[in-house]
């Protein structure tokens, strides 16, 4: 990696990590396009690499919430287990689609996700009540 | 995961965000394994991942702290707009 690429990668990680910690998403929506468009990675490599980065990111974010007492291990381990099985299937399919198809599929996913984030009614309406309760 | 947790498990938004981060851990472990081993050559760039992770590990606690101060709506609209911009750029030749 060249010097500018290291800087771009650091900044990309910072933004993706901040969004991940704030909203509970993995940050892949930021990292994958940045790797493909700014760092010249292939679509598959960008997605696989993003999954690896998400691991410490999610751990760091989860720990930060854990210190604030917001973690419930009980329903979450089931979600993680079922999600892991689904991830294996999804990753296998992604590897066999071919780069250009995968890139289109990923872009469509980004549009759907982006529109949903923008259009959905904010759940923050319930927040003032929960934050004043304790 | 977050909408499912708030709707089906009656978690508050912040609990759902916190727990979805926890659930992402096993999901990404399995995903990485398949991307690394699932095709002829590893589709995971370890060096790039290390640099991204340095930025991300610094950013994640910052983001979690910001989430307790900035309206969630503003964060979501920003993320949505970035995602759509990136998608358009990915689809352009």
Give the single-character DSSP code of A69: T
Please write the tens of the pLDDT for every residue from B35-53. 999 888 899 999 999 999 9
> Is the ipTM value over 0.85, yes or no?
no
Tally DSSP H helices, then E strands, for chain B.
4, 0
**B75 at the A interface (CB within 8 A)?**
yes
| In contact, A57 and A6? CB cutoff 8 Å | no
- Please report residues of A whose CB lies closer than 8 A to that of B57: 13, 17, 56-57, 60
**Predicted TM-score (pTM) of this structure:** 0.82
What residues contact residue A25 under an 8 Å CB cut-off, 6+ apart? A19, B2, B20, B79
Please write the tens of the pLDDT for every residue from A51-85. 999 888 778 778 888 898 888 888 888 999 999 99
- Is B38 in Cβ contact with A17 (below 8 Å)? no
- Please report residues of A whose CB lies closer than 8 A to that of B6: 123
List the single residue in B with minimal CA-CA distance to A28.
B83
User: What is the spatial distance between Cα A4 and Cα A29, in angstroms, rounded to a whole number?
Assistant: 22
User: What is the spatial distance between Cα B85 and Cα A34, in angstroms, rounded to a whole number?
Assistant: 11
> At B72, is the pLDDT very low, low, confident or very high (cuts 50, 70, 90)?
confident
């Amino acid at each position: 990696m060249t010097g500018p690429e290291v800087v771009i990668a650091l900044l990309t990680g910072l933004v993706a990590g901040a969004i991940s910690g704030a909203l509970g998403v993995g940050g892949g929506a930021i990292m994958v396009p940045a790797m493909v468009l700014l760092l010249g990675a292939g679509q598959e490599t960008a997605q696989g690499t993003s999954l690896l980065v998400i691991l410490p990111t999610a751990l760091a974010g989860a720990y930060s919430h854990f210190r604030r007492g917001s973690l419930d291990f009980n329903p979450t381990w089931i979600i993680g287990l079922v999600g892991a099985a689904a991830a294996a299937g999804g990753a296998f399919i992604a590897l066999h689609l071919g780069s250009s198809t995968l890139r289109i599929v990923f872009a469509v996913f980004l549009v759907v996700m982006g529109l949903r984030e923008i259009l959905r009614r904010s759940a923050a309406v319930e927040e003032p009540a929960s934050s004043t309760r304790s | 995961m977050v909408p499912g947790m708030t709707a089906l498990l009656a978690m508050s938004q912040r609990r759902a965000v916190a727990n979805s981060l926890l659930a992402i851990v096993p999901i990404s472990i399995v995903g990485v394994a398949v991307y690394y081993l699932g095709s002829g050559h590893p589709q995971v760039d370890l060096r790039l991942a290390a640099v991204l992770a340095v930025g991300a590990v610094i950013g994640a606690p910052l983001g979690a702290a910001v989430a307790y101060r900035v309206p969630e709506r503003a964060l979501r609209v920003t993320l949505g707009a970035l995602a759509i911009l990136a998608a358009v750029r990915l689809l352009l030749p």
